[in-house]
Structure 1
């Protein structure tokens, strides 16, 4: 039997997702260092995949419990943009189908921008309905960021195409007559809330990238309005702009 080249083995490993594949045991007996290195790389890839499956299943616990109680239209709600010095707070409400399958969904803060964009597109494709709510910097200054976040979530809920029968909300309760569950760190524990956090984050980041063209010098395209060194330096050099939150330090001391 002709010995496979290391390049051929690597190419085949890229197609194998099953640890029980007989070829794995055959290659494990191959003494070539290149083969063993390829197997270690393959094992790390499989381990990451297994971890993603385990996390995906774990993050469905709240949805599964709600379905066990008879609920069917379960919505996850989350917001982004509480901490920035500029721009709106954005909330998303996402209803996922029961057969939703998308590995890698997690708290948007734990994901790279590229990964968020990929997941955002797939969530858009698979979701039953997505609602978006935004509250701008003027309203944030008027009613405070907590109330503005709550308002944005309410707007996102009303923006859905269907009225949900159960709400899963990240660390918040809403004044609506729908059964709901407030989950601390819900964006890392519930698949629906995590999906909402990704949608809200991508939409807000894209808004801030557009604002960067209108209000250059603050690095909005990089910091999304958060108080980074670049942003603070821009404030020092050119003062505040139209979308800055005037009740947030250090801005409230600058005018």
Structure 2
């Protein structure tokens, strides 16, 4: 345990993705034994999508009552529907479309962030997503699990070091000038992230070891945004050995 955060180290990125997939499926089942619906926030990035793909092939997948699960996103690139760089597109290919087609997940329980196919600006997308979130809670549903990746600079979702979005008020924020392309994005705010019951940071790679150590040491979120990602009940850092190197 480090500053209220539980750190679990896995030997490599492949095992990490498989372990997180199994952990998430088990967590959904555990929550469904006491309440419904279950609200889960998924993440993009290499290890995030690899985790969703690992869920698709896990035999426990069929034990979940997917009709009682809602899927949300922590952030999205402001790109048109179907763009291969959208987190939604990658998640659908890895898992979500199969859940809808074959496992009883209602299409209406999938909540992607809108892009320029539907709205004109990231701010409009953020407002629309905030309104959708508010229909399931006040101001947002109490997410049962919120998954996040972390970049080598310590960013989570689309909240980057030194960026004004770090201090955004409200459920969501439109992002401009992202240091990582594309420059326009939509993101949950720290206010929303911290409303989750459990926040899981899934981190792999030696290039992230320094920022992981800084975040776990309680660094300033303006310098290491991942330091501000905490759940109301539990915060898990699920990392591979390379990311745990510092």
**What range is the shorter-chain TM-score in?**
under 0.3
- TM-score w.r.t. structure 1 length? 0.24
Q: Which has the larger helix fraction?
A: 1
Bigger Rg, structure 1 or 2: 1
